[in-house]
Amino acid sequence: METSSDRRAKALDADNQAKWDELERLVSAKSERPEAEPSAIATTPQDDLSYRSETASTPSPKFGGHDLRETDTSVFASDLKVDMPADSTYLDVTPDVSIPEPTQYARPSFEAMMPSEAFKAPTTEARTASVENIQARAESISEPSTDASESFTPPPPPVRRPERADIGAMRLDVARISADIQSGEELYRRAQQRIENLTSFVERAEVDFSMLNRLEPENRRLKARNRTLEREIDANAQKIEVLRADLKDQENRLAEKSRVYETAAGRLAVVQKSLQEYERALKTSRESSDRNSLNAERLQTSLDVERRENEVLRDRLSTVVGEMDSKQTAYIEAKKIADSLAQDCADFRHQSETAEKDADALRKALATAQTQNNAMKAEMMGMHEDIRAFKTQSEFTIISREDEMTALQQQVDQLSKQLQIKDEIVRNAARDVQELRKIRTAQDLERERLEAHIQTQAYQLEQASSDLLQTKQDVTDFDRRYRDVATALSVSQARRMSNEPAAQPDIQPHVPDEFDDLSTEDIEDRIMDFRLGLRNEIT
């Protein structure tokens, strides 16, 4: 539904279009106007003299419409010093007025141009004859003629004067009259040129006013668009401020996460140090198990030697039953062997006490390790709560680490059981060899498990470092995207604010630019496509 402003704008456009059509019609009518006839050029005696001084064979120029875009503003109608071509013809543009009678027009003119006393001598009859000759000459000039020779009017016949005129004074007066005629022709040409300049200036002014009237709706529309663009720029500035605040918040969060990561790295270093201590303890237990295995082998060797000696004794007892000396000797030898075995047993008892002391030290180390494990478990729980918000993968890593710590606790319990088994091995030398071998195999497996656990923790540390680097890369990408968006907005604002008025204004309706309808996401996509080579230019 049209409003009053729309109807008023349409009426104004129709009025401007009508004025424009009327101006074009006038200009075209003027350009098609025929050349002036010779009779319209000179209607007075002065014009007659001026007309006879010019050539009558040059064509009249055609004055067409003026193009405002080719108008030179340095030329004004007030400048009378105009260099005209030699072959140009001056066109009379003065309005048609009633021609005065020759007697009423020529008398003052000749009196003004002939101040000498020589021309005041003739009588009334002579002056009457001169006026009649001048009137006849004007009538002959007013008739159109086709030949230049026919248009020439001979001078009036001499008049008999009662007194002789002064020839020198007459010649002087004729020279003065000729000079006055020439200056009058020059003034007339300048006045005619000034009139033409004024006419063209008026026409150009009318065209300019018409163009201004036609461009007024476009000017109002451009002002409204400028106000809309200013509001959009303000909205974009507010968005940029919001983005800057978000960026600052993200930087603060990144700094907080960095501090949390550094704390986690320090705690991880403590865990690695504890693991190294566990490894040294395991190495010590492995050395003790090696010593126990050597002692077990020695005991087994001693048992084998004793068994062989017992067999030898049985053979001797079976062979020399009746010989007391042999028995006594064998008894002494057996007693010596028993003393040796007692000494070996004392050594073995001392070794078992040493092993018990080592086992007690290991128990204390295990208790200390369990306490440290409990403290580490509490710290890991705190780390778990801190890192849960930072990364989901870190949460799973901490959970798996807790499971591994539980497995380590179970392994420590198994080591305690193995130490108890070692105590039983010390009390029972016959079964110590096999049990120690089994324990050694279990310790090797445990060492491999601990090495695998250390490798897993190192991998988790590398994964956490890669996650931190990825987070920093994401922040860098966000900064780059923010700078790209800010650059695109500044380019768009500069492009909109640097539109200078055109030298040739276009009065056609404004065609919306494709770049004006783009949103921030579209601009960012175009920038990424341009960087990836999918576009040759951003616009």
| SS3 per-residue string spanning 249-270 | HHHHHHHHHHHHHHHHHHHHHH
Token pair, residue 125, equals: 């009859």
Query: Which residues, other chains included, contact 337 with Cβ-Cβ below 8 Å and sequence gap of 6+?
Result: 306, 309
pLDDT of residue 75: 43
As a whole number, mean pLDDT of residues 109-121 equals: 44
Q: How far is CA 389 from CA 157, 386, 399, in A?
A: 127, 7, 14
Cα distance between residue 355 and residue 453, in whole Å:
29
Q: How far is CA 460 from CA 274, 397, 403, 453, 470, in A?
A: 17, 7, 14, 10, 15
Q: How confident is the model at residue 143 (pLDDT cuts 50, 70, 90)?
A: very low
Cα distance between residue 452 and residue 450, in whole Å:
5
Helix/strand/coil for 380: helix
Cα distance between residue 294 and residue 300, in whole Å:
10
Q: How far is CA 442 from CA 1, 274, 361, 418, in A?
A: 94, 21, 20, 9
Of 22-31, 163-172, 201-210, 394-403, the range with the highest mean pLDDT is 201-210
User: Cβ(208)–Cβ(70) under 8 Å?
Assistant: no
| SS3 per-residue string spanning 308-326 | HHHHHHHHHHHHCCCCHHH
At how many degrees (to 10) do helices 520-532 and 429-497 cross? 110
Contacts from 146-152 at CB under 8 Å and sequence distance 24+?
148/56, 148/57, 151/38, 151/52, 151/56, 152/52
353-368 residues labelled b (16+ CB within 10 A) or e (exposed)? eebeebbeebeebbee
Residue 19's Cβ-side half-sphere holds a number of Cα atoms within 13 Å equal to 17
Enter the DSSP assignment of 147. S
Higher pLDDT, 498 or 292: 292
As a whole number, mean pLDDT of residues 170-187 equals: 80
Q: How confident is the model at residue 398 (pLDDT cuts 50, 70, 90)?
A: low
Tens digit of pLDDT for each residue in 401-456? 677 777 777 877 887 787 777 667 666 766 666 676 677 777 778 878 888 878 88
Count of Cβ atoms closer than 10 Å to residue 67 Cβ: 9
Higher pLDDT, 416 or 371: 371
pLDDT of residue 113: 44
pLDDT of residue 273: 85
Tens digit of pLDDT for each residue in 129-141? 554 655 555 455 4
Count of Cβ atoms closer than 10 Å to residue 525 Cβ: 14
